[in-house]
Amino acid sequence: MKKIILIYGMIAGAIVGAMLMITMSLYESGTLKFDNGEWLGYTTMVIALSMVFFGVKSYRDNYLGGSITFGNALKVGLLITLIAALMYAFSWEITRSNMKNDFLTQYQEKHIEKMKAAGATEEALVEAKKKNEEFAEMYKNPFIRFSMTLMEIAPVGILISLFSATLLRRKNFLPTT
């Protein structure tokens, strides 16, 4: 089981980590905009974390004779997710430390611009700026930042793990040949 978890977790982590580094360099160059970046990020997470499904299936078929319980499938999926999430968070720390521009400041400025365009009151803008400053101060703490980065990808991995465990616990779902 350890081998499957490591292999598939590292593949998922490499995909999501590499894509994070690529997209952040595209943000810095102005090629990628904030408006569609979130969609690209979460799409990449789903693609990378599809390794959860393939890892659980490989474990079921190659080590358990084609049968796995929901609990075991979920455990394998969550451990693959953990490895991918850790690689993603480390990738963010590396990328962030090498960026020329302050991504957080740019993101917050874009948020304020969107609020203005939507007709936000001056009071709402002041409150948003205050919250942004508080968040920026908190984000300086590497432990909080790392935890927050883990929480970006974890829900996606949990959902995919639940989905994979539900499907693959059935012996007749994509059986071995």
Distance (Å, whole) CA 34 – CA 117: 15
Going from the first residue of the chain to its last (177 residues), give the mean pLDDT of each consecutive group of 10, the final group possibly shorter: 97 97 86 81 96 97 95 98 98 89 82 90 92 93 96 97 97 83
- 80: nearest Cα among 24, 134, 137, 7: 7
pLDDT confidence of residue 177? 66
Q: Find where tokens 């997470």 sit.
A: 45
pLDDT confidence of residue 139? 92
pLDDT confidence of residue 66? 92
pLDDT confidence of residue 162? 98
Say how many C-beta atoms besides its own lie within 10 A of residue 86's C-beta: 17
**By the 8 A CB rule, do 66 and 56 touch?**
no
- 51: nearest Cα among 81, 23, 88, 85: 81
